[in-house]
Amino acid sequence: MLSPFPRLWHNRRMFKFEHHHDKLLSPILFIQRVLLFAALAGGILLITLVIGVIGYRILESLPWLDALLNAAMLLSGRGASVPIVTPGGKLFTALYALFSGVVFLGALGILVTPIAHRILHMFYLGTAVNLTHKTAPTATAVQPNEHETQAETTSEPAAPAPFTDGEAE
């Protein structure tokens, strides 16, 4: 069977992150990994949404569209949009709201994981822009500026320059 992303589904490396001493994943494989994790997070959210729609359809006898609206609103954290009247529906709403909040945060974590891993891996490898110095610092003599030289030669502090308002004397 031909797949548009043959390495995406058949490569176990897509789910196993590279070790800290390994090279960064190529940009194409990284994008495929992000898409795979986004599909996983989306699938989890879709399953949770279906649970909510079926629950509202059975317990509240809501039409499909209203059941979808209620489940989506609770999954996004906005609250129910259609009034819940039955005790079973109220209990389901309370439990589904708690469950969907945890699922939403978990799906967000799944979505962010490959990106956060790549950023941390870049920091470890030092491949981020201006993250590490490419050359070792050399010991060079620092030349003192004019004020430091004057302050070192006299025992009293250097007097500040007089204030002028721009007029020549």
Residues 6+ apart with CB under 8 A from 33: 14, 25, 114
1.25.40, 1.10.287, 3.30.1490, 3.30.420: CATH of 27-128: 1.10.287
| Burial class of residue 21 in the structure, from the number of CB atoms within 10 Å of its CB (0-12 exposed, 13-18 middle, 19+ buried) | exposed
For position 47, what pLDDT does the model report?
96
What pTM was computed for the model?
Answer: 0.63
Count other Cβ atoms within 10 Å, centred on residue 84.
18
For position 94, what pLDDT does the model report?
93
Instruction: Please give the single-letter amino acid code of residue 2.
Output: L
For position 62, what pLDDT does the model report?
93
Residues 6+ apart with CB under 8 A from 3: 9, 10
- Positive or negative torsion for Cα 121, 127, 130, 135: positive
For position 91, what pLDDT does the model report?
94
What value does the CA radius of gyration of the chain take, rounded to a whole number of Å? Answer: 31
For position 130, what pLDDT does the model report?
46
Along the 169 residues of the chain, how does pLDDT read in single tens digits? 455 555 544 555 566 777 767 787 788 988 988 999 999 999 999 999 999 999 999 999 999 999 999 999 999 888 888 888 999 999 999 999 999 999 999 999 999 999 988 888 877 777 544 444 455 555 555 565 655 555 555 566 666 666 666 555 5
Query: Would you list the domain boundaries of the chain?
Result: 27-128
Q: Tens of pLDDT along 87-102? A: 999 999 999 999 999 9
